[in-house]
Amino acid sequence: MVKKINQNEFKALDKSGVSVLDFNATWCGPCKMLAPVLEEVSEDFAGKANFYSVDTDENPDLAREYGIMNIPAIVVIKDGEKVDMNVGFVPKEVLSDFVSKNI
């Protein structure tokens, strides 16, 4: 499951283990397309990583903190540290590989 969070909730989060953040916006077509793909991927990785969705319009500080220039951007965080990022829409297989190589 991909959980929608805001920057304050994110700050308070226990960041141990692997977290996958989806930076998006309501007006962004590719973001809308990527959301259901990420949802599927998150089911496959249930228990191995936590998945979050971040609206960049509502949470500009968090987007800035992670250096988001383009969306959709998928950021992998390991124990609080950003380890990898993928920008743009990608098919499920590619997204799965991206998450799995960072776990």
Give the interface with another protein as residue ranges (CB under 8 A). Answer: 27, 29-30, 33-34, 36-37, 40, 69-70, 87-94
Would the CA dihedral through 93, 99, 101, 103 be positive or negative?
A: negative
| Contact of 56 with 64, CB cutoff 8 Å | no
List alpha helices for 1-103, DSSP H. Answer: 7-11, 29-44, 60-65, 92-101
Nearer to another protein, 19 or 68 (CB): 68
CB of 28 to another protein, least distance (A): 8
39: left (phi over 0), alpha (psi -120 to 50) or beta: alpha
Set 18, 20, 21, 28: catalytic member: 28
Nearer to another protein, 36 or 80 (CB): 36
Q: Is 48 a catalytic residue?
A: no
Q: Is 28 a catalytic residue?
A: yes
Amino acid (one-letter) located at 13: L
CB of 59 to another protein, least distance (A): 16
Residues belonging to the active site? 28, 31
